[in-house]
Amino acid sequence: MADKKQDFIDQRLHDLNHDGVDRRGFLKCMAWAGTGLVWTLSAGVPVSRVFAKGAKKDAAKGGDFTFVQISDSHIGFDKPANPDVTATLQVAIDKINALPERPDFMIHTGDLSHLSKPSEFDTLDQALRAAAAKQIYFVPGEHDMLSDNGEQYLQRFGKGAKGTGWYSFDHKGVHFVGLVNVANLKAGGLGSLGHEQLEWLEHDLKGRSTSTPIVLFAHIPLWTIYPDWGWGTDDSEQALSYVKRFGSVTVLNGHIHQVMQKVEGKISFHTAMSTAFPQPAPGKAPSAGPMKVPADQLKKVLGITDVNYLVSGKSLAVVDSPLDGSMSAGSGE
Amino acid sequence: MQSLKMKQFANFKWSVAALMAIASVMILVGTASQAQHENGSGKLVGTAAGTDAASQVMIDNFVYSPVPLTVKVGTTVTWINHDDIPHTVDSTQGKFKSAALDTDDKFEFRFTEAGEYPFYCRIHPKMTGKIVVQP
């Protein structure tokens, strides 16, 4: 009986529309907000897992390694939505440090600072020193490009990167690409990668075996979520055309301060929450600005969204966990 | 005698009038240059006392208003950010460019030529506006 019920749930959680995503399961798990997102690569398919105390180890699933994504720390922001963004960043880092398995590295998907001030970059640097994972990869957000077209960001966080801060690296057989879609934005437009970066990307991917898992990360979402609020990238289609041939592609973004996901063929898209402040769901407020919540709920909406998909080998699961430590009843694997 | 005095007085009156006229012009020029900023590339301005509401663009909720703002040549336009998120004012024609304006920060630019001046926020490029300068 229990098996039948589990099968029913599994079926509902899997492939309802044969597109790798079950909306009901997804929406159910959207109830929790979160900041840090832990990914495990298992057989080349990114699988995230619960990022909180008490999480079961993923060793049984044969995860090769884990990494954590944080985003939108906005150091320097001090308005009512969160008067102390450094403190909430520190809570997220504490949670990362408390993980049963230390992540191999961290990725910060941009808006490190709020106003690109040197003091803000300093504070972020300081806070990240407490992270046990010493290797951190960054891509800039538009808030990091304010005073000098991103010169300071490049010097401090983009060493060795090309152009406005793009680069790639390999880790245990997975190819990671950091992209910049927040430079030279045109009036009335969305995010933009630009011709030079697209050429570089095409060249960077050329010749790689299609079985190489690919992870792209950039600040603004690489798929169109809500154009009215600028939540999309004008020329991302071209970038995605270069990765279409690969067997497993994961796109990690930030910018919108909430979790959203989409699966399109073999490409899975996911946006992370902010460690600083939440933003409203598309169209649910007059603008995309910081969303105030009662103080005692702030850590809930900066927590991690726990999307509890079982690993099928084809669809990827995204698991987040909230800063306040709460977890879904059925979370973990 | 009388007529001479009157002439002197008349001269005196004209001198005073001339002086007053010159003084007024100087005051006007002084005011104008106070509001003027040669460096249009991101210089923040403090509170501009006596700014005429008719030459202001408000920024709030990711929106500039009014759009367009119509002013006369020689007007200094003031943009004020009332949003809780920073915005910028960037001319699409490269004629002016503000620093990042946090809440309550202002940016000013004096328009010396008639024409249309579209601008946008380089942080949130979906935000667009326009100044129409009439002769």
Query: How far is it, in rounded angstroms, from Cα A183 to Cα B109?
Result: 24
Closest CA–CA distance from residue B104 to any residue of chain A (Å): 13
Is B31 inside any structural domain? yes
CB atoms closer than 10 angstroms to residue B109: 25
Q: Do B62 and A116 touch (CB under 8 A)?
A: no
Q: Do B118 and A146 touch (CB under 8 A)?
A: no
| Same domain membership, residue B91 and residue B30 | no
Is A74 inside any structural domain? yes
In the sheet with B106-110, reading across from the earlier edge strand, the strands are B63-65, B56-60, B76-81, B106-110
- For B41, the closest chain A residue by CA position comes to A147
Question: What CATH number has the domain bearing residue A75?
Answer: 3.60.21.10
The pLDDT of residue A74 is above 70: yes
Work out how many domains chain A is built from and give that number.
1
Is B100 inside any structural domain? yes
| Same domain membership, residue B59 and residue B10 | no
Is A283 inside any structural domain? yes
Q: Do B125 and A147 touch (CB under 8 A)?
A: no
Q: Do A230 and B118 touch (CB under 8 A)?
A: no
| Same domain membership, residue B88 and residue B29 | no
Work out how many domains chain B is built from and give that number.
2
Q: Which domain holds residue A207?
A: 69-293
| Same domain membership, residue B64 and residue B24 | no
The pLDDT of residue A290 is above 50: yes
| Same domain membership, residue B59 and residue B11 | no
Q: Which domain holds residue B24?
A: 1-35
Is A42 inside any structural domain? no
Complex ipTM value = 0.76
Is B89 inside any structural domain? yes
**Three-class HEC string of A184-230:** CCCCCCCEECCHHHHHHHHHHHCCCCCCCCEEEECCCCCCCCEHHHC
Instruction: Kindly report the average pLDDT of chain A as a whole number.
Output: 79
- For B100, the closest chain A residue by CA position comes to A146
Is A231 inside any structural domain? yes
Is A164 inside any structural domain? yes
Is B26 inside any structural domain? yes
Angle at A323 between CA A180 and CA A142, to 5 degrees: 20
Q: Do B84 and A81 touch (CB under 8 A)?
A: yes
Q: Are A259 and A280 in contact (CB under 8 A)?
A: no
**CB-based contact, A190 to chain B, within 8 Å:** yes
Is A146 inside any structural domain? yes
More confident residue, A87 or B21: A87
Is A180 inside any structural domain? yes
Query: How far is it, in rounded angstroms, from Cα A278 to Cα A275?
Result: 8
- What are the tens digits of pLDDT across the range A168-226? 999 877 899 999 999 999 999 999 999 999 999 999 999 999 988 889 999 999 999 99
Q: Do B84 and A142 touch (CB under 8 A)?
A: no
pTM of the model: 0.76
Banded pLDDT at B4 (limits 50, 70, 90): low
Query: How far is it, in rounded angstroms, from Cα A264 to Cα A95?
Result: 31
| Same domain membership, residue B63 and residue B18 | no
Q: Do B61 and A229 touch (CB under 8 A)?
A: no
Question: What CATH number has the domain bearing residue B85?
Answer: 2.60.40.420
The pLDDT of residue A245 is above 60: yes
Residue A99's pLDDT is: 77
- Show which of residues 88-117 on chain B sit within 8 Å of chain A, judged by CB atoms: 88, 90, 92, 99-100, 102-103
Closest CA to A31 of A311, A283, A303, A296: A303
**CB-based contact, A291 to chain B, within 8 Å:** no
Instruction: Give B-chain residues touching A286 at CB under 8 angstroms.
Output: 61
Is A299 inside any structural domain? no
Banded pLDDT at A40 (limits 50, 70, 90): low
Is B86 inside any structural domain? yes
